[in-house]
Amino acid sequence: MDEKLESIFWNIQQRNQGETEFIQAVKEVLFSMGPVLAKYPKFAQQKIIERICEPERQIIFRVPWQDDRGEVHINRGFRVQFNSALGPYKGGLRFNPSVNLSIIKFLGFEQIFKNALTGMPIGGGKGGSDFDPKGRSDDEVMRFCQSFMTELYRHIGEYTDVPAGDIGVGKREIGYLFGQYKRISNRYESSVLTGKGLSYGGALVRTEATGYGLGYFVQEMLATRSESLEGKTCIVSGAGNVAIYAIEKVSQLGGRVVACSDSSGVLFDEQGINLTTLKQVKEVERLPIESYCKTHKHARYQRGGNLWSISCDVALPCATQNELTGKDAATLLNNGCIAVAEGANMPTTPEGVELFIESGIAYAPGKAANAGGVATSALEMQQNASRDAWSFEFTDRKLASIMKDIHGRCLETAEEFGAPGNYALGANIAGFMNVADAMQAMGLI
């Protein structure tokens, strides 16, 4: 790391002690910034990097709620409004027991650059709670969401901060959150939340967007190497929204997904994952993927298995942060993997990223490859603002075009800064430059 950047990084570590995930995300970006400071010393003079690494606002609040038995529970809510240089804060809400300030800050920090890469007028933010919706009734989830929004509503708005869904927050949760916002604010402000149901302002393709966008990005990445997804064996970690629709798009583009996973284990189907069954198990019945094997007797499920040990051409980590280690990366490379693209946020450890880049395979970080979700959220905001509704095909074409532009921007930036084919460096610098230029133009704020 550049000497100036080492000093900046040390100060950030001191100011954010114990925030492991956030520090990891910052370090990954700062490793790319040496060539930028060399070419644009004004950014160092104006301390743009230090300012980007410090959230504009961090909100932590109590969320009391009552379960069906009448027992009172207290959870913690978060919203980190990281950077609004390009537009209102935009980023999802995550409901998961693992949620803490470090995770929300890392996600919000990543969101700054991801949103900038889309070329759309949206800043970066993130939020959530350590509440676990798994095993809770609809009424319990509703009561929690209403309590959560009772505090959050005062900090958001279509021109201020526009949350969406993330892990543990789907259409059900967004519906309850939007209803409570409307009730408290006395405004039908459609653009205050994205990921809504189609009957009240949601956008077609929003459910599929992150997974579809990932598929489009992989196809573009392979095309630069005179390859395509046609006939490629693929594996996808996770079995949630991103993973399911990544599997769907990869299959549409000619790939064959043979394995996916959930928090309990790994599912392998040599004939290719059957999407109809997977959707029934995960989206309708909300069961572990082991239930897939009841319908498809030939499929194998390994409790606690390692997805990354399965031979593949293309690997798509779509579950959670730091799920793919350096050891896993070495296994993938030894088994002939030619492309890795991240559907989750920071799913590969620094050791794994280093191996992928050194090997020369096509590797795309999440801030570029999974930007389709937030891009389509911004399209939903456009439709809400104009009181319009676009067709699935029209929105899907826009998504494909955005992902193609992101791919091209990353590739061109990597080339400009002396690292051809390095999507990680290209994504970091391209996103940073958009935000830094805007921050410089607005003065010291």
Q: Which residues are catalytic?
A: 126
Is residue 377 a known part of a binding site?
yes
The β-bridge relationship of strands 161-165 and 123-129 is: unpaired
331 is in an annotated binding site: no
Secondary-structure breakdown of the chain: helix, strand, coil percentages, each rounded to the nearest 5: 50, 15, 35
Q: Which ranges in 47-165 belong to alpha helices (H)? A: 48-52, 101-117, 138-152
The number of helix segments (H) and strand segments (E) in the chain equals: 18, 12
* Virtual torsion, Cα 234, 248, 360, 24, nearest 10 deg: -110
The answer on whether 111 is annotated among ligand-binding residues is yes
One-letter amino acid for residue 99 of the chain:
V
Q: Is 90 annotated as a binding residue?
A: yes
Residue indicated by tokens 């993130």: 126
Question: Is 279 annotated as a binding-site member?
Answer: no
Q: State yes or no: 271 annotated in a binding site.
A: no
Amino acid at 386: S
C-alpha to C-alpha distance for 168 and 250, rounded to whole angstroms: 24
Strands 233-236 vs 256-261: parallel, antiparallel or unpaired: parallel
**H/E element holding 303?**
strand 300-303
- Both tokens assigned to 345: 């946020």
Is there a binding annotation on residue 241? yes
Distance of CA 128 to the CA centre of its chain: 14
Residue list, annotated binding site: 90, 111, 114, 165, 210, 241, 377
Residue list, annotated binding site for substrate: 90, 111, 114, 165, 377
